[in-house]
Structures are given as structure tokens and as C-alpha cells.
């Protein structure tokens, strides 16, 4: 298999593991006698560790081999999941044994994400970056759908411990496949790569970088973060809410597949305009849900939201990998992830406060307004629009940097 094929197969397997993890960790907590409070504490601790380690992880990935950091981080996550499975299968009697494995898993995730951004750029020829990143976004949607469905079925049939073993195997397989990829040796200069501030400096100098990052974090703030609260709240409020929210989650994943597929096929010619239109259409899903409209009016909006995220993410990752200097790429990727985590935690906090103070419907209308404001923000940065319209050429990079 070629390096690109190994990369895509490994990434697809790892993304399936991510989908399994979301189901398995919840039921692992419940099987050990924990409840919502303990689950929130364990997941929240993992998020805080990820938040604290993601920027230093980007610096390490710019300093050392991204291939081995990416492979090693999946090896670490696989071992963490095996330990978690052992805790659940042994029925140790205390849910807090899951806390240290959650911390280790978060460290592995922090190492993996920025390293992978640069690793893709080292493996994939520049002309194929959009196609490969589009494929990865489609695989992300497939992983969300298949992981959730398979995880739920396996938890019912076998229990959370067995699902965690399977989850561990997906990460170990990904680590093995990444280790098999041959990459050209990259010479890195210590005096350049050991300064974390160089990434921030580059983001300020090239004026398309921060608007692009803020748009990604905006997606997380107005959609992914609030949905962590809105989903369970809908499930609690409605007799068939869990089924409804599962359908909506699968619909968003389907939109993600369509958006990634459109980028892969080269259909997205003016990405920011397409994203703006899809976001406005996507707001109709929140509005229809708030108005208790039939499902046939709710789901098209959520397909549009998923497609907006999938198409933009594919184009954005490709643009970073083309135009950011390779020795700084993982630090920019880490900054991207850091601000997305800020968006996630802020979105969760806002949704919790609005639902507690008002209602679920009020939060859905806030999400409608947020999607429309995010659509409007796509027109704010001429530098970002120029980079995307041009196909991210070197000439436009220079003009954007000086704009």
C-alpha cells in the first residue's frame, strides 16, 4: 500500500475508535456504579488535560518526528483503553479508577492532533491535499455514525468492557499502520522550532490564519459545544427524545460525509460562500426543532450544518498544509485545536446557563442566531477569501500576509 493509502486506512480506523469511545466511556462509568456527576468529572478532567497540553504538544511535533509522535500517541491511547477495559471487566468497584486512564488518553489525543496535521503534509503530495482532507472529513462522518451505532449495539450485547477492548485495538492498528509509512527525512533547526511564540507570531503576520481558526472555533462554539447539552436535555424532556437526538446526530454525520465528499470531488469552488449559505440553511434545523415541526423539516437543516463543517474543514486543513511553513505547521495546528477547545467549553457553558435560566427552545433560538452570525463572519476577512478563491497559491499567500 502507498503512504497515502496507509494514512487514510489508519485514520479511518482511528476515527471509528473515536466513535466507539464516546459510547464506551459513558457506559463504563455506569457499569462501575457512577452517574452523570462522575461521568462529567471524568470527561471534564480529560478536557482540561487536553486544554493544558495541546500547545506544548504542537511544539514537540515541530521538534521531533511527526510520524513517530502520531504513531506513539495512538499506541498510548490504545494502552490506555486496554487499561480502562481491564478496570471495567475486573469490576473494581470504584468509578474513580477511570480518572488516571482518562488523563493518559487525553495526553495521547493532545500529542496526536498537531502531529497529524504536519504528518499529512509530509505524506500527501500538495496537489492531492484537498482530496485527502475531504476523504478524512467523510471518514470522520462515517466514524461518528458507525462508531455510535456499533458501540451502542456492542454495549447492549457484550458490555462496555468488550467495547473498550475493540476501541483499543483500533488505536493499536492505527499506530502500526502509521509506523509503516515511509516519509522523507526532515531536517529541523532547533533555534527555530523550540519557541512556542513563533506560531503566534506567524498567525499575526499572515492575516488569513486567525480568521480561519476563529471560523473553526465558531463552528464548535455555536454547534458542537451547545449540542453536548441540548441533546441530553431534549432526550430528558421528550419521551422519544433520545431516539430523536440520535437521528439528528446521524444526520449531521451524513452531512459531514457529503461536505467532505464535495471537497474530495472538487465541487467546492467558492468555499466561504458555500459555507455561509449552508450555515443559514442549517439554522432552519434549530428553528424547526424549537417550533416542534415534523422531522422532515428538521433534518435538512442538520444535513446542511454537517456539510458546512465537512467542506470547510477539508479546505481549511489543506490551506494550512500548503501555506504554513512545515517547521511551524504543528504549532499552528495546536493553536487551532486550542481555540476549538475554548469554543467547546464556552459553548457548553452558554448552553447550560441559557437552558437553566430559560428553556431548551430559547437555546435553540440562540443557536439559530449564532449560525447566522457565523455565516456573516465568513465575509469579514478579505485575506481568507483571497486564499480560498485562489486555490491557496504561493502568490496569494504573499499578498494575504501583507494585506
Assess whether 167 and 70 both reside in one domain: yes
Query: What is the pLDDT averaged over residues 262-283?
Result: 81
- Domain CATH number, residue 150: 1.20.1250.20
Assess whether 221 and 354 both reside in one domain: yes
Q: List C-alpha distances in Å: 366 to 224, 234, 283, 297, 324.
A: 14, 16, 10, 19, 35
Task: Name the band, by pLDDT with cuts 50, 70 and 90, for residue 195.
Answer: low
* DSSP codes joined into one string, 183-237: -------HHHHT-THHHHHHHHHSTTHHHHHHHHHHHIIIIIHHHHHHHHHHHHH
- Per the structure, the complete domain to which residue 245 belongs is given by 199-401
- Would the pLDDT of 1 be above 80? no
Q: Report the candidate in 85, 107, 110 with the shortest Cα–Cα distance to residue 98.
A: 85
Predicted TM-score of the model (pTM): 0.76
Contact yes or no for 80/104 (Cβ under 8 A): yes
Assess whether 314 and 366 both reside in one domain: yes
62 located within any domain: yes
Phi, psi angles (nearest 5°) of residue 354: -65, -45
Task: Name the band, by pLDDT with cuts 50, 70 and 90, for residue 273.
Answer: confident
Assess whether 283 and 393 both reside in one domain: yes
191 located within any domain: no
Assess whether 167 and 39 both reside in one domain: yes
Q: What is the pLDDT of residue 399?
A: 35
Of 183, 209, 226, which residue sits at a domain end? 183
Assess whether 256 and 302 both reside in one domain: yes
Q: What is the pLDDT of residue 369?
A: 94
352 located within any domain: yes
Of 220 and 189, the structure prediction assigns the larger pLDDT to 220
- Would the pLDDT of 27 be above 80? no
Q: What is the pLDDT of residue 186?
A: 60
d(CA 383, CA 400): 5
Assess whether 30 and 153 both reside in one domain: yes
Of 150, 183, 216, which residue sits at a domain end? 183
Q: What is the pLDDT of residue 140?
A: 82
Please list, residue by residue across 81-107, b when 16 or more beta carbons sit within 10 angstroms of its beta carbon and e when fewer do.
bbbbbbbbbeeeeebebbeebbbbbbb
189 located within any domain: no
Assess whether 395 and 359 both reside in one domain: yes
Largest Cα separation within the chain, whole Å, is 62
Assess whether 252 and 382 both reside in one domain: yes
188 located within any domain: no
Intra-chain end-to-end CA distance of the chain, in Å: 43
d(CA 42, CA 94): 13
d(CA 198, CA 177): 32
Total number of domains in the chain: 2
Mean pLDDT, rounded, of the chain: 82
Assess whether 177 and 232 both reside in one domain: no
Assess whether 171 and 231 both reside in one domain: no
- Would the pLDDT of 254 be above 80? yes
* DSSP codes joined into one string, 84-103: HHHHHHHT-S-GGGHHHHHH
Q: What is the pLDDT of residue 71?
A: 92
Convert the pLDDT of each residue in 63-82 to its tens digit. Answer: 888 889 999 999 999 999 99
190 located within any domain: no
Convert the pLDDT of each residue in 102-130 to its tens digit. Answer: 999 999 999 988 888 888 888 888 888 88
Of 127, 157, 183, which residue sits at a domain end? 183
Amino acid at each position: 500500500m502507498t503512504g497515502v493509502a496507509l494514512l487514510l486506512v489508519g485514520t479511518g480506523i482511528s476515527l471509528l475508535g473515536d466513535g466507539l469511545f464516546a459510547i464506551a466511556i459513558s457506559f463504563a462509568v455506569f457499569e462501575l456504579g457512577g452517574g452523570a456527576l462522575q461521568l462529567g468529572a471524568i470527561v471534564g478532567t480529560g478536557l482540561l488535560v487536553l486544554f493544558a497540553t495541546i500547545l506544548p504538544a504542537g511544539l514537540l511535533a515541530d521538534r521531533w518526528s511527526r510520524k513517530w509522535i502520531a504513531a506513539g500517541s495512538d499506541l498510548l491511547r490504545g494502552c490506555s483503553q486496554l487499561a480502562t477495559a481491564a478496570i471495567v471487566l475486573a469490576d473494581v468497584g470504584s468509578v474513580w479508577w477511570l480518572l488516571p486512564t482518562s488523563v493518559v488518553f487525553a495526553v495521547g489525543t493532545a500529542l496526536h492532533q498537531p502531529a497529524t496535521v504536519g504528518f499529512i503534509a509530509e505524506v500527501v503530495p500538495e496537489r492531492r491535499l484537498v482530496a485527502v482532507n475531504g476523504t478524512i472529513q467523510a471518514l470522520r462522518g462515517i466514524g461518528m455514525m458507525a462508531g455510535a451505532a456499533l458501540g451502542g449495539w456492542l454495549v447492549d450485547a457484550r458490555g462496555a468492557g468488550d467495547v473498550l477492548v475493540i476501541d483499543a485495538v483500533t488505536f493499536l492498528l492505527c499506530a502500526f499502520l502509521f509506523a509503516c509509512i515511509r516519509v522523507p527525512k526532515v531536517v529541523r533547526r532547533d533555534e527555530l522550532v523550540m519557541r512556542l511564540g513563533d506560531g503566534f507570531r506567524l498567525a499575526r503576520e499572515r492575516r488569513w490564519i486567525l480568521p480561519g481558526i476563529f471560523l473553526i472555533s465558531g463552528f464548535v462554539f455555536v454547534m458542537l459545544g451547545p449540542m453536548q447539552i441540548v441533546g441530553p436535555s431534549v432526550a430528558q424532556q421528550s419521551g422519544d427524545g433520545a431516539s430523536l437526538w440520535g437521528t439528528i446526530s446521524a444526520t449531521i454525520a451524513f452531512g459531514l460525509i457529503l461536505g467532505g465528499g464535495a471537497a474530495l470531488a472538487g465541487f467546492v469552488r467558492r468555499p466561504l460562500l458555500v459555507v455561509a449559505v449552508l450555515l443559514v440553511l442549517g439554522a432552519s434545523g434549530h428553528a424547526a426543532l424549537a417550533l416542534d415541526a415534523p422531522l422532515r423539516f428538521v433534518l435538512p437543516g442538520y444535513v446542511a450544518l454537517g456539510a458546512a463543517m465537512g467542506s470547510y474543514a477539508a479546505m481549511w486543513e489543506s490551506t494550512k498544509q500548503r501555506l504554513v511553513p512545515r517547521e511551524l505547521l504543528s504549532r499552528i495546528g495546536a493553536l487551532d485545536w486550542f481555540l476549538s477547545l475554548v469554543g467547546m467549553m464556552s459553548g457548553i457553558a452558554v448552553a447550560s446557563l441559557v437552558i437553566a435560566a430559560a428553556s431548551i427552545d430559547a437555546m435553540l433560538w440562540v443557536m439559530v442566531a449564532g449560525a447566522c452570525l457565523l455565516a456573516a463572519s465568513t465575509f469579514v476577512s478579505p485575506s481568507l477569501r483571497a486564499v480560498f478563491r485562489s486555490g491557496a497559491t504561493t502568490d496569494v499567500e504573499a499578498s494575504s500576509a501583507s494585506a
